[in-house]
């Protein structure tokens, strides 16, 4: 375990098993629809890669990069830094996201993608932190890997100032590791 990790919340094995289960769920719902899976960069890239491999049917890949966090805090505004490249009109789209926290980012992304005329739009979140929702945000994920407590987590793609993304597990970061 990394010295700045307070505790391991989800082990590699727990993550691997849940990814397989999510793959079965998505295959059941989208196996015949040629969905477009959108990765929200950078945090979801590890989850995305594993989910794509767990989906045993034809699909297409797209990427978006947004910005809404500074350090451990949401800024309250969402900027699209990289947009999808293909036309999504009439397509079945599944957003693969690392964490549904305040909900502001995903709500903005969903509105943006719906305006492109998608046939359907669903959210598959690796983590769901219901206690972190911003007031007035009612957005929920359609598929959830794990609900988690209101703690700052890193690993499996999630970071603190670009560090810890490469940890193969999900851990709670020690407060002194990000206190400034």
Residue 21's CB is within 10 A of a number of other CB atoms, namely 12
Tell me: the pLDDT tens digits for 36-46?
A: 999 999 999 99
| Interval 162-178: pLDDT, tens | 999 999 999 999 988 87
Reported as a single tens digit per residue, the pLDDT across 127-149 is 999 998 989 999 999 999 999 99
- Distance separating alpha carbons of residues 126 and 134, to the nearest angstrom: 19
> What are 68's two structure tokens?
């809404």
Phi, psi of 168 (to 5 degrees): -80, 0
Domains of the chain: 11-150 (3.40.50.2020)
Give the residue numbers annotated as catalytic, written as ranges: 101
Q: Which stretches of the chain are assigned E, i.e. beta strand?
A: 5-10, 36-41, 60-70, 73-82, 92-100, 120-128, 143-147, 153-154, 170-173
What is the model's pLDDT at position 128?
97
All residues at 6 or more sequence positions from 126 whose CB lies less than 8 Å from its CB, including other chains: 44, 47, 96, 97, 98, 99, 145, 146, 156, 157
Given a cut of 60, whether residue 180 has pLDDT beyond it is no
Enter the pTM of the model: 0.91
Residue 116: pLDDT over 60? yes
């Amino acid at each position: 375990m990394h010295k700045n990790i307070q505790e391991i919340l989800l082990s590699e094995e727990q993550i691997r098993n849940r990814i397989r289960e999510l793959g079965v769920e998505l295959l059941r719902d989208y196996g015949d629809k040629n969905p477009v899976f959108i990765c929200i960069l950078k945090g979801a890239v590890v989850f995305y890669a594993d989910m794509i491999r767990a989906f045993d049917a034809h699909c297409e890949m797209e990427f978006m990069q947004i910005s809404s966090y500074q350090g451990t805090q949401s800024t309250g505004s969402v900027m699209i830094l990289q947009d999808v490249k293909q036309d999504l009109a009439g397509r079945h789209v599944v957003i693969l996201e690392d964490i549904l926290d305040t909900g502001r980012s995903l709500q903005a992304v969903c509105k943006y993608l719906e305006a492109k005329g998608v046939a359907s739009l669903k959210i598959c979140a690796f983590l769901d932190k219901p206690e972190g929702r911003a007031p007035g945000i009612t957005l929920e994920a359609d598929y959830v890997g794990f609900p988690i407590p209101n703690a700052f987590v890193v690993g499996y793609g999630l970071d603190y100032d670009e560090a810890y993304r490469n940890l193969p597990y999900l851990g709670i970061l020690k407060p002194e590791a990000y206190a400034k």
